[in-house]
Amino acid sequence: MLRRVVICLIIAIAGIAVAGTFCSVFNHGPCIPEIDYPYGENLQLTVESAPSHDDAAKYQKPDHDLDTIGDLFAALRSCWSPPSADSAREGMQMTVRFSFKRTGEIIAAPRLTFVTAGVSANTRTTYLKAINASLDACEPLKFTNGLGGALAGRPIAIRYVDNRALGKQSGTP
Taking only the tens place, the pLDDT of each residue in 76-133 is: 999 999 999 888 898 899 999 999 999 999 999 999 999 999 999 999 999 999 999 9
Q: What is the pLDDT of residue 24?
A: 63
Give the model's confidence band at 18: pLDDT under 50 very low, under 70 low, under 90 confident, else very high.
very low
The mean pLDDT value for 48-52 works out to 88
| φ, ψ at 100 (rounded to 5°) | -105, 155
Q: What is the pLDDT of residue 106?
A: 93
Rg (CA), the chain: 22
Q: Assign residue 133 a region: left if phi > 0, alpha if psi is -120 to 50, beta otherwise?
A: alpha
Query: Whole-angstrom Cα distance, residue 51 to residue 58?
Result: 9
Give the model's confidence band at 59: pLDDT under 50 very low, under 70 low, under 90 confident, else very high.
confident
What type of residue sits at position 14?
A
Which residues have C-beta within 8 Å of that of residue 18, sequence separation ≥ 6?
Answer: 11, 12
Query: Whole-angstrom Cα distance, residue 76 to residue 43?
Result: 12
For residue 40, the number of C-alpha atoms closer than 13 Å in the C-beta half-sphere is: 7
Q: To which H or E segment does residue 161 belong?
A: strand 155-161
Q: What is the pLDDT of residue 11?
A: 64
Q: What is the pLDDT of residue 32?
A: 57
Give the model's confidence band at 52: pLDDT under 50 very low, under 70 low, under 90 confident, else very high.
confident
Q: Assign residue 14 a region: left if phi > 0, alpha if psi is -120 to 50, beta otherwise?
A: alpha
Instruction: Work out whether strand 155-161 and strand 43-48 pair parallel, antiparallel, or are unpaired.
Output: parallel
What does the DSSP 8-state code read for residue 159?
E
Q: Which of 97, 93, 99, 55 is nearest to 77 (CA)?
A: 55
Q: To which H or E segment does residue 127 belong?
A: helix 121-138
Q: What average pLDDT does the structure give for the chain? A: 82
